[in-house]
Amino acid sequence: MTGSLKSVKSPAKSTLAIPWKKLRKVTGYQVQFCAKSNFKKGTIERKFKQKVTKTKVRPVKSKKKYYVRMRPYTKSGSKTYYGKWSKVKSVKIK
Q: Sorting pLDDT into bands at 50, 70 and 90, what band is 17?
A: very high
Could you tell me the fold of the domain covering 16-92? Answer: Immunoglobulin-like (2.60.40)
pLDDT at position 18 is: 97
**Residue-wise pLDDT tens digits, 81-93:** 999 999 999 999 9
pTM for the model: 0.92
Measure the CA–CA gap between 37 and 66, rounded to whole angstroms: 8
CB count within 10 Å of CB 42 equals 9
Q: Sorting pLDDT into bands at 50, 70 and 90, what band is 1?
A: confident
- Domain ranges in the chain? 16-92
